[in-house]
Amino acid sequence: MSNRGSIRVMLVDDNVAVRNGLILFLNSFDHLEFAGQATNGKEAIRLCAKFQPDVILMDYVMPEMDGVTATKAIRHQYPHIQVVILTFTQDSALIEAAKKAGAATCLQKAASIHELEAAIRQAYAQGAMN
């Protein structure tokens, strides 16, 4: 958590429109702080040290490295960083793979801003307990 008491959130999605929408979302909450962005899983892993997020909102399907593979690597290298996987589906196999990789939760991209904000808070709380 940053000095001003907000949850630092990094965005990882290959779609610039999605990232821009998520930045607007983050800016609408005083307790959420935009902490950087990446366009794929490989870039996300590399940028974790620079941005030092508390929580990552991670797309599942991306070029170069998918969200589950990136989540596994990030949770191994940075166990304090929590990951929320964003996806268009709620496929049970995908959810199981994401959880096994260390994701705090999976959320549909169609979720409301309140569901997304709650998922970030819950993921952060899970990290604070570890």
Q: Which of 7, 4, 1 is nearest to 121 (CA)?
A: 7
pLDDT for residue 90 is more than 90: no
Does residue 2 form part of some domain? no
Q: Rg of the chain's alpha carbons, rounded to an integer?
A: 13
Q: Does 3 have pLDDT greater than 50? A: no
Residue 26 covered by a domain? yes
Q: Which domain holds residue 91?
A: 7-129
Does the residue 85 lie in any domain?
yes
Q: pTM for this one?
A: 0.93
Give the residue from 39, 93, 94 showing the smallest Cα distance to 64.
39
- Band of residue 17 on the pLDDT scale cut at 50, 70, 90: very high
pLDDT value for 42: 97
CATH number for the domain harbouring residue 56: 3.40.50.2300
Amino acid 4: pLDDT? 56
Helix (H, G, I), strand (E, B) or coil at 34: strand
